[in-house]
Amino acid sequence: MKQISFCFFLISVVGVSLFSQTLVPAVAQVREVPYGVEFVTISTPHFEVIVNAEQQSLGQHYSNQLEKAYSYLSASITDRPEKTIVILNDKWDVTNGYATRVPYPHIMIYPVLPGIQDSLADAGDWTLELLAHEYTHILNFEPAPGAVGHLRNIFGSIMAPNILLPTWWKEGVAVHVESSISTGGRLKSSYQDTVIRAIVLAGKLKTYDLAQINEVLPTWPEGMRSYLFGSVMWSQMVADQGSPIVNRLFQHHGGRFPYFVETPARENLGTTYLGQYKRALDETENRAQAQLKTLRQVSPTLDSPLVVKNAEYLSAPAISPDGQYLALISRDFAENRSVRIFEKKSGDIDFINPKEILRTESELDQGPAGKIYDGPPSGSIGRVSWLHKSRKLVYDKLDWVNSVERYSDLYLFDLENRKTKQLTKQLRAREPAVSLDDQKIVFVKLSANQTALALYDLTTERAEILVQGAPGQRISFPNFLNSEEIIYTASNTASNTASNTDTVWIYNLLTRKLRRWDVPQNSHFLKQVRFPTPSKRGVLATSISNGVPNIYNLGNAADDSPGASSAKTHPLTHTLTGFFSLAEDPLTGDLYSTKMTERGPWIYKIAKQDLLSERAQSLPQVAPLFADRYPLTDSGAVGTETYPVSDYEVNHHLWPHYWIPFLATTADGIVFQALTSGFDPLKKHQYSVSAAWDSALQKGSFAGIYQNTVWAVPWFVQSSIVNTYFASVTDTLTTKSYLLGSNISLFPISRELSMALAMKQVSYESPTKTRRGAGPTLSFTYADLSQAGIQISPENSKTLTLGATKYLNNGDDLNHSQYLFSGSIYTNKWLPSRNAIMAKVNGIHTPEFVDPSYGASTASLALVQDSVGPNFLMRGYLPGHFRGRNMINTNFEYRFPIRDIYRGNGTDPFFLRRLHAAVILDGVTAEGQVYRSSQKVYMPADFSEKFWTVGAEVKLETTVGYVLPVQFVVYYYLPQNKDTGGESSVGLTMQITQSF
């Protein structure tokens, strides 16, 4: 889960971008919810819950849970908004949510239950924990005592210093609350304990310093850092100071200027956050070492890691029925998740050092709104299963079904012809397994806050639901036990009782009856049974019966009558960290399982002879790391109040709730800008307005856009008055532009393709003349641009933009056509790791003769990295140094890494990430004008003249103010055409990076 953080500087940069002059509309409408879905509002005393009209029972359940969370939190936290908006948006099969108070307090929830491989898997009452987590963010953002409150009266909702606190601070307190309110939560989670034990076992716990845990770094535990270590930190603070410390710190930080965070710590904790973090790590390490000491009373099971190259994490092993092939899920260092297939090398009897056959298509392992996940191993592909009679396998994969919805579906891969076939469309299916006759696939079907056991028939291509889970019940990891029975586990994540755990169920396809299999272990039932896997030795599964996820032999599923002996149920492994998904080699009896390590999940082999026998001594028992702080206390039943329902209305939401001032200096003066924006909770209506004053020009500028996604075809209206200048402040241009149009997704053709169509009216006013024109403008944009993980640049991406504008002959001054194009390619083929080449070409063509100022002009610096669309860039020359009605501009960069730094200093709001560089080459030729600096005048130019710049850039990636990714660029540019006035230059600039 994640909260959305606003930064004054970031919003101001976005506002400035509205003044950019383009020939085609630049703003794309993105729907928040699918078109045609009707929503209603459920009103409770403290919340407005907006939900699909067909999911009102879900909305009522969440409404009661919200009021329950409010009752718990309001007892200790004093500042609360009068009403908080909560949107239940069932458009993604991604378990998550976010919260913000800009422009007004609201929470977005994607109500899909977490899977058993998620870091969020160990829930007690999932909806209560999720809502308490997000509402804690809302309450954290609310305090504004003293002077900050007066500033909020002036600037509005943006004045919330706590939004700019470190991520570990905000997420840590939310995890503490989620773990306090329910029998689940990450501070009670066996998964989180497993991660901590693995890190402690490797002696690396204290290498995670306070600055690093604020960051999403491309190393384990990635985005989980702030949640894991932040929760440990807050747990220690509450243990030392008592629960009132939460409200005291909320208040103290809320009344202060952001970033100077240590004073509240000293005054409320008696130490700095750095000192408190050291104490938290010391205590956590002591607890983990105590667990490890207890566990070492019995020698751990021997295991061996697989040797697999080009992988960051491995999980979900699946071995073919003939024992020759191993399929697994691999995630690489660029966050691409794929199914990889290996075979035993000639003469080998295992998969320790397997030969890779191939890998399936990759899916970028990111959430639909950027990085909104907590961390691996959950992701875009979840499980792989082999067919029994052919060399084929099925797997589930998250993919976009349209431009708004992203759901999980089933795919069939044929190893013989190496082709993938999508079996289902928008079925919302995950965790598939194949019947013994290869005719059917059992899977888990998802819906909002529910799961179901379902069956897909490969012959008829139809799916049916076998068992519909109750609201909040998580059905997981089904398998065919035999030709008639299906085995799976289920847990009620809405029961919130100390006895809530994963239990084993068996469904009979012939009788259509369901029975529970209570698996005994030493006079007690096994706890949290997961990943049931039929094998020759019995049903294998994992359990935390001794407090650690280990693999157990559950015995024969048919032998579960009352009084049956438990002798066959026994542990097969004893690990110090934890085992998860597993597979058995049918030829050797060896097991392969996902094991938690200090570097994340990896697949290990446990040889048959090293498995524990039925006669092995019982495993040492350990309690959860923080069991004394977070007891398994039932927080009470969920309310059953039925709250009033009304049609969804925009109401007051569109009124401006904030405005932001922004001050910038230029070479010739000062620019003052003010910005505001707004939207309704479903973002059917959105707007942004910005105004600026340039002291050098003694003129103002204005830009505004309104976007509407209510209709089937989204549309927008945009207006701007931009006062700017070229090489000199005396050479001014006032551009007035008005557009009415639509940006349309062309998803049926390609997910990356969109079209913009608008009617445009524009006027250009220079000191000597004024020209006006009106007409249609059309553009197509293809953008397959991604950068993730350790990449310093997109490495396998491309973009293309084509646009055309026709000024009609209707009595206005302008009567011409104009065509715009831009294309870029990024590749690292044949290059060393993390090196990349970027090549981009931009062009404009105006068939009729017009003044060059009505065409395109060049920029001198790239303020946004890797922008999509035309950006005529000539580094080393003045802004507007080249302008023309016809122009071709090329940019070439060779990018290479220098050093990964990943270092900060305690709570200082500045973090150094990476250092990399680029060698650049820019070129331009134009039919228009070029500025001659020696004469301070524009001179005619044509395509016979070519202008070039060579240079180098060194780029330092940073995080500024805990949340803002800023890239500092030190540059040296050497123009090759000195007669035009280009001179070598050295300088420093900043870029807002798109990926971090």
The structure tokens 């797997």 sit at: 395
pTM value > 0.85: yes
Confidence at residue 788, expressed as pLDDT on a 0 to 100 scale: 86
Distance in angstroms (rounded) separating the CA atoms of residues 225 and 175: 12
pLDDT (tens digit, 9 = 90+) per residue, 543-567? Answer: 999 999 999 999 887 655 443 444 5
Confidence at residue 160, expressed as pLDDT on a 0 to 100 scale: 94
Answer with the residue of higher pLDDT: 854 or 362.
854
Task: Read off the pLDDT band of 263 (50, 70, 90).
Answer: very high
pLDDT (tens digit, 9 = 90+) per residue, 418-451? Answer: 899 999 999 999 999 999 999 999 999 999 999 9
Task: Read off the pLDDT band of 22 (50, 70, 90).
Answer: very low
Q: CB–CB of 119/191 below 8 Å?
A: yes
Confidence at residue 568, expressed as pLDDT on a 0 to 100 scale: 73
Return the percentage of the chain with pLDDT > 90, whole number.
69
Q: CB–CB of 887/926 below 8 Å?
A: yes
Q: Given CA atoms 976, 978, 982, 983 in this order, what sign does their dihedral have? A: positive
Q: Enter the tokens of residue 640.
A: 């059953």
Q: CB–CB of 975/877 below 8 Å?
A: yes
Task: Read off the pLDDT band of 5 (50, 70, 90).
Answer: very low
Distance in angstroms (rounded) separating the CA atoms of residues 954 and 943: 32
- Strands of the sheet containing 47-52, edge to edge, are 96-100, 106-110, 84-88, 47-52, 39-43, 645-647
> Is pLDDT of 365 > 70?
no
Confidence at residue 497, expressed as pLDDT on a 0 to 100 scale: 54
Range in 104-108, 145-149, 240-244, 933-937 with the lowest mean pLDDT: 933-937
Stretch 251-268: mean pLDDT: 94
Q: Which of 887, 820, 861, 840 is nearest to 968 (CA)?
A: 861
Q: Enter the tokens of residue 437.
A: 């006759």
Confidence at residue 934, expressed as pLDDT on a 0 to 100 scale: 76
- 56-62 LR contacts (CB < 8 Å, sep 24+): 56/645, 57/471, 58/88, 58/111, 58/448, 58/449, 58/471, 59/88, 59/645, 60/641, 60/642, 60/643, 61/127, 61/449, 61/471, 61/638, 62/86, 62/88, 62/109, 62/111, 62/127, 62/131
In 792-909 the beta strands, taken as DSSP E runs, fall at 796-806, 817-827, 836-845, 856-857, 882-904
Stretch 226-255: mean pLDDT: 96
Packing angle, helices 225-241 and 262-269, rounded to 10? 30
pLDDT (tens digit, 9 = 90+) per residue, 45-104? Answer: 999 999 999 999 999 999 999 999 999 999 999 999 999 999 999 999 988 889 999 999
Task: Report helix, strand or coil for 37.
Answer: coil
Distance in angstroms (rounded) separating the CA atoms of residues 312 and 219: 8
pLDDT (tens digit, 9 = 90+) per residue, 876-931? Answer: 888 889 999 999 999 999 999 999 999 999 999 999 999 999 999 999 999 999 98
Q: Is 926 exposed, middle or buried (0-12, 13-18, 19+ CB in 10 A)?
A: buried
Q: CB–CB of 726/931 below 8 Å?
A: yes
pLDDT (tens digit, 9 = 90+) per residue, 836-856? Answer: 999 999 999 999 988 887 889
> Is pLDDT of 332 > 70?
yes
Confidence at residue 6, expressed as pLDDT on a 0 to 100 scale: 35
